[in-house]
C-alpha cells in the first residue's frame, strides 16, 4: 500500500512530469525503457539434453527456460495524463524466439498487459481482466525476437480506487530451435493441407492446433466436439507430451498456422507468426497413458473469427481404409499425411494384428509422413471423424515405416474411472453415441462466445 500511495501522489502532484512524458509514452522511446539482460544460454548443453530426450522417447524441446523473479510494478514507471505504465525490456542474446510465463497474473478491470518485439513486428495482447483465471497464471506464445518489451497499462482512475495489479514474471523461454529458424523445419516429403487433391480434409484441418507446453516443448492437438454441441473447448493431445494437472495453465494453442496455398517440397521457413491466433491456459480433464491420450478444457473459447472446427469422432470398432493425419511437424506450418490402405489394430510398437488392441497401426504413408512435434495429431477416417491420436512410430521422409495411434474407442472408457476416460466429458448428454459429426464454431449456440 505504501507504493500505491507514492504512485497516486506522484500522478497528482507532478503535472509537469506527466506532460513531459505524454509525447513519448505511446509510442514510447525504446531507448528509455528499463532493460533486463538475461544470462547466456548454453546451447550445446541444451541440444545434448534434447538428444538424450529423443533417445528416451521423450518430446524434444525448442527453448530453454530461464528463471527470473520480476514483480512488474517495481520496474519502469512512466506516466501520461490518463494512464500509468510499467515497461520492461527483456533481452536474451541470440534467441530465435522468446516467450514469457507470468506465474502470478491478476489484473483489475481497466488494466492491460501487452508484449511487443522490440522491432515492432510482433505484438501479443492486450491481456486484460478477462484473462484472470483460477490458476492465476498467464503464458504467452513465442515471439520471433530476442528482444521484447512488456508493458502494463493502468488508468489512473483505477489506481486511485485502490485496485492494484498482481503481476509477476517468473520465467523467460529462450528459443534455440524450431520457431524462427531460417530453414525448412519439416522434411521435404511433407505437404500442406492445401495440397490435398480433394477438399475433404479442409474442415477437419481447422480443428488442429500447434501446442506449446511449459514454454519449452511442442506437440500437436485438436479441438473436439461433445454430444451437448455446446462448444465447451475440449482439446486432445498426446499423454507423452507431458501435460499434467499442475502445468496445464502453461498450455498455449496456436490456430490457423498454415499455408493457404500448396507450396513446393523445397519450401522456405514459414512467413507467418505463430502468435497470430492463439489462446493460453487449460485444465486437465482426463488422461489415460495406455492409449497416450490427454483431454484438456481450454480456459477460453476460440474467437469466432478464427473459424475453428470442433472435430467429430467415431468410437466404433471399424478399421477404415483411407485415413489422414493432420499435424505440425517440428513447429512447422500445418501438414497433411494420407494412408490409402486398411489400418490394423494392435499394441504400441507392435506389428502383429490384435483385434482388441488399444492402438491403430499405419503401415506406411502414401503422402507425407510424421515427425517430432506431430505427437497428438488426430487420425481421421473418410467421414472426417477422429479415430485416434498419434503416439509415435518410425515414419520419416527417408523411411516408409509404421506409426501407431492410440484408439479413440479404447480411450472412451479408458481406465474405467473419472479422470481416466473421455466419455464423462465428450458425452455430456449421456447419449451413449457411437459417432458424432464435427461442428464449426459459428454453429455453436453459446451465449459467452467471444466476438
Instruction: Return the closest-CA partner of residue 393 out of 292, 286, 266, 258.
Output: 292
Q: Is the separation of the CB atoms in 98 and 92 below 8 Å?
A: yes
Active-site option among 24, 129, 135, 240:
240
Q: Is the separation of the CB atoms in 308 and 205 below 8 Å?
A: no
**Is 411 a catalytic site residue?**
no
Q: Is the separation of the CB atoms in 394 and 403 below 8 Å?
A: yes
**Is 56 a catalytic site residue?**
no
The per-residue DSSP string of 260-311 comes to: SS---TT--S--S-TTSSEEE-EEEEEEEGGGTEEEEEESSPPPGGG--EEB
List beta partners, residue 236: 222, 295
CA-to-CA separations, 59 to 56, 268, 359, 432, in angstroms, rounded = 9, 24, 20, 34
Pairing between β-strand 35-37 and β-strand 83-91 as defined by DSSP bridges? parallel
Beta strands in 350-446 (DSSP E): 359-362, 378-380, 385-393, 403-407, 435-436, 439-440
**Is 375 a catalytic site residue?**
yes
In whole angstroms, give the CA distance from residue 272 to residue 263: 14
Active-site option among 50, 131, 146, 292:
292
For the record, the C-alpha cell of 9 comes out as: 501522489
Active-site option among 207, 375, 411, 423:
375
Read off φ and ψ for residue 236, nearest 5 degrees: -110, 140
For the record, the C-alpha cell of 25 comes out as: 509514452
Instruction: Return the closest-CA partner of residue 405 out of 369, 360, 363, 375.
Output: 360
Q: Is the separation of the CB atoms in 421 and 413 below 8 Å?
A: yes
Q: Which positions are annotated as active-site residues?
A: 240, 292, 375
Amino acid at each position: 500500500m505504501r507504493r500505491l500511495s507514492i504512485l497516486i501522489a506522484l500522478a497528482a502532484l507532478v503535472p509537469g512530469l506527466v506532460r513531459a512524458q505524454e509525447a513519448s509514452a505511446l509510442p514510447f522511446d525504446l531507448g528509455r525503457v528499463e532493460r533486463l539482460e538475461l544470462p547466456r544460454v548454453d546451447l550445446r548443453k541444451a541440444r545434448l539434453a534434447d538428444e538424450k530426450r529423443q533417445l528416451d522417447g521423450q518430446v524434444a524441446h525448442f527453448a530453454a527456460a530461464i528463471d527470473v523473479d520480476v514483480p512488474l510494478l517495481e520496474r519502469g514507471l512512466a506516466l501520461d495524463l490518463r494512464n500509468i505504465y510499467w515497461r520492461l525490456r527483456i533481452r536474451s542474446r541470440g534467441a530465435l524466439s522468446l516467450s514469457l510465463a507470468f506465474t502470478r497474473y491478476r489484473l483489475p478491470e481497466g488494466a492491460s498487459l501487452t508484449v511487443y518485439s522490440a522491432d515492432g513486428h510482433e505484438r501479443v495482447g492486450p491481456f486484460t481482466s478477462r484473462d484472470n483465471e483460477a490458476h492465476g497464471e498467464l503464458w504467452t506464445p513465442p515471439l520471433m525476437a530476442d528482444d521484447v518489451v512488456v508493458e502494463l497499462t493502468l488508468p489512473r482512475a483505477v489506481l486511485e480506487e485502490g485496485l492494484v495489479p498482481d503481476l509477476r514474471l517468473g520465467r523467460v523461454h529462450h528459443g534455440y530451435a524450431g520457431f524462427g529458424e531460417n530453414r525448412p523445419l519439416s522434411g521435404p516429403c511433407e505437404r500442406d493441407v492445401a495440397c490435398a487433391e480433394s477438399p475433404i480434409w479442409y474442415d477437419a484441418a481447422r480443428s488442429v492446433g500447434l501446442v506449446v507446453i511449459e514454454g519449452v516443448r511442442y506437440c500437436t492437438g485438436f479441438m473436439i466436439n461433445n454430444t451437448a454441441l455446446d462448444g465447451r473447448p475440449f482439446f486432445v493431445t498426446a499423454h507423452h507430451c507431458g501435460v499434467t494437472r499442475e502445468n496445464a495453465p502453461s498450455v498455449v494453442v496456436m490456430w490457423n498456422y498454415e499455408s493457404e496455398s500448396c507450396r513446393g517440397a523445397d519450401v522456405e521457413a514459414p512467413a507467418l507468426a505463430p502468435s497470430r491466433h492463439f489462446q493460453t491456459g487449460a485444465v486437465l480433464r482426463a488422461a489415460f497413458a495406455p492409449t497416450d491420450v490427454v483431454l484438456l478444457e481450454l480456459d477460453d473459447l476460440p474467437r469466432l473469427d478464427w473459424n475453428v472446427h470442433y472435430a467429430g469422432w467415431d468410437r466404433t470398432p471399424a478399421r477404415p481404409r483411407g485415413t489422414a493425419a493432420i499435424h505440425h511437424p517440428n513447429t512447422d506450418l500445418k501438414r497433411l499425411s494420407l494412408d490409402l490402405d486398411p489400418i490394423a489394430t494392435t499394441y504400441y510398437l507392435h506389428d502383429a494384428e490384435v483385434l482388441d488392441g488399444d492402438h491403430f497401426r499405419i503401415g506406411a504413408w502414401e503422402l507425407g509422413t510424421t515427425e517430432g512435434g506431430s505427437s497428438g495429431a488426430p487420425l481421421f477416417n473418410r467421414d472426417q471423424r477422429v479415430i485416434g491420436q498419434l503416439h509415435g512410430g518410425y515414419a520419416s521422409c527417408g523411411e516408409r515405416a509404421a506409426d501407431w495411434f492410440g484408439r479413440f474407442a479404447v480411450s472412451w472408457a479408458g481406465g474405467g474411472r473419472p479422470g481416466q476416460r473421455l466419455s464423462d466429458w465428450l458425452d455430456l448428454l449421456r447419449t451413449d453415441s457411437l459417432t458424432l459429426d464435427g461442428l464449426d464454431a459459428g454453429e455453436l449456440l453459446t451465449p459467452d462466445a467471444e466476438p
